[in-house]
Amino acid sequence: DTMDLAFDRQHIWHPYTSTLTPLTCYPVTNADGVYLELEGGKRIIDGMSSWWSTIHGYNHPTLNDAAHSQIDKMSHVMFGGITHQPAIDLCKKLLSLAPDNLEHVFLADSGSVAVEVAMKMALQYQHAIAKKSGSTLSKTKLLTVKNGYHGDTFAAMSVCDPVTGMHQIFEQVLMQHYFAPAPQCKFGESWQAEDVNELTALFELHHQEIAAFIIEPIVQGTGGMRFYHPEYLKACRALCDQYNVLLIVDEIATGFGRTGKLFACEWADISPDIMCLGKTLTGGYITLAATLCSEHIATTISDGDAGCFMHGPTFMGNALACAVANASIDLLFENNWQQQVTAIEKTLTRLLLPLTNHARVKDARVLGTIGAVECNQAVNVAQIQKRFVELGVWIRPFGQLIYIIPPLITRPEELEILVNAIAQVLNEDNCFNG
């Protein structure tokens, strides 16, 4: 039996898809280790970790066991008025690994929801603070940087880059926030303090309105795989402290080792007030995210008007997802994630950085398990994707960016196949527009 791809094309939305001119979707029947198996049996090496999430590879026996044994007990039970061991174990682990001042965990069902929850926490916190001081005005704005990405739901979208985040379409309904220029000083370069001048000016000018500052630590992912200087993040922490603004770090893409630190904010040695986790949390098995906050935020919210934090999704604390997340985090340490990441970083640095010399390449860069090739032209997604599959790899570029973020178990010879495929398509004119 072959899959009904005509039905798929005619009736199923895929991410960012036109129903009139949908791009080809490749039918996958199985996945194992770093391989995706296409209908018909062709196996291709996954360079994307299913959008950053599959850190240990597919069909992992340990994660499978965790899922099986949990599903035989219970897959899900409501989290209102009920608790369970997988959630308790997971939250203990998260608090022991996260920066010290984070003391409370809200389990959300996707990255975007974790960001919604973070923003709502910040706003409810500021509301409670204002009420307490007898003020009728509370801080209701967010401040962020351009080129950011935090998810596709409305609150998250309102802090995504105003241009690439499609603000024009939703302008009339989107909350309006403040945007500083994107960090310019790159990771590994010498620090230029003027990089935070405009950000500082925005804090000075608007701090009385600003509830929280939100940023992806060290790596702006969807905004172009931009690796910025840790001093920038340090300055953000200092400005938030100076102006009484909460700091939200969105570690959804960077968390759990991807940048070479367990959490990217460790590069700057800072603790946020609120931190979002997702993607890799369950090793890429099932959707689950978490929003962590400080004792002070939790207490202030709980002391306020509502007397509680006003959020509670149906699938909050899903037991199956928590059980797999526990197994995935344990596996990170059993596998010595730091060694895995360093090995991938070394190989990618050796293989991918030389592509900088290619005429079509503007910049090639590597950080942790992230390898990015920024081209001078936008890619032709349909053609480049087809060629990648022919070359035995799964890489999905966007805009001018070809990037890979392979599972931590990827071996040097597999990385070589991934990078060789990139080098090959760079020579093919029809893989690019214009």
Active site (catalytic) residues: 16, 149, 250, 279
Minimum distance of ligand PMP from residue 15's CB (angstroms) = 9
Q: Is 401 in the site for ligand PMP (CB under 6 A)?
A: no
Minimum distance of ligand PMP from residue 166's CB (angstroms) = 14
Residue 432 CA to residue 88 CA, distance in Å, equals 49
Instruction: Output the DSSP codes for 240-306.
Output: HHHTT-EEEEE-TTTTTTTTSSSSGGGGGT---SEEEE-GGGGTTSS--EEEEEEHHHHHHHHHSSS
The residue from 223, 260, 278, 317 that contacts ligand PMP (CB under 6 A) is 278
113 vs 431 by CB, closer to ligand PMP:
113
113 vs 320 by CB, closer to ligand PMP:
113
CA atoms within 13 A on the CB side of 119: 23
Q: Is 149 in the site for ligand PMP (CB under 6 A)?
A: yes
Minimum distance of ligand PMP from residue 49's CB (angstroms) = 12
Sheet holding 401-404, edge to edge: 361-367, 370-375, 401-404
Minimum distance of ligand PMP from residue 161's CB (angstroms) = 12
| Two structure tokens written together for 121 | 């926490």
Residue 154 CA to residue 145 CA, distance in Å, equals 17
Minimum distance of ligand PMP from residue 279's CB (angstroms) = 6
113 vs 351 by CB, closer to ligand PMP:
113
The residue from 112, 294, 318, 380 that contacts ligand PMP (CB under 6 A) is 112
Q: Is 410 in the site for ligand PMP (CB under 6 A)?
A: no
Number of residues that bind ligand PMP (CB under 6 A): 14
* Element at 348 (helix H, strand E): helix 337-352
The 3-state DSSP composition of the chain as helix, strand, coil percent (nearest 5) reads 40, 20, 40
Interacting positions 212-241 with ligand PMP (CB under 6 A)? 216, 221-222
DSSP 221: -
The residue from 57, 86, 151, 304 that contacts ligand PMP (CB under 6 A) is 151
**Which residue's CB comes closest to ligand PMP?**
111
Q: Which residue matches tokens 């899900």?
A: 76
Q: Which residue matches tokens 């149906």?
A: 314
Segment contacting ligand PMP by CB under 6 A, of 145-153, 318-326, 372-380, 420-428? 145-153
CB 266 within 8 A of CB 257: no
The residue from 36, 253, 270, 402 that contacts ligand PMP (CB under 6 A) is 253
> Which contacts qualify for 261-264: CB closer than 8 Å, 24 or more apart?
261/368, 262/97, 262/337, 263/97, 263/98, 263/99, 263/217, 264/216, 264/217, 264/218, 264/219
The residue from 33, 57, 99, 111 that contacts ligand PMP (CB under 6 A) is 111
**H helix runs in 73-209, sequence order:** 85-97, 111-132, 154-158, 167-170, 197-206
150 vs 387 by CB, closer to ligand PMP:
150
Q: Is 284 in the site for ligand PMP (CB under 6 A)?
A: no
- Applying CB under 6 A, the residues found at the interface with ligand PMP are 110-112, 115, 149-151, 216, 221-222, 250, 252-253, 278
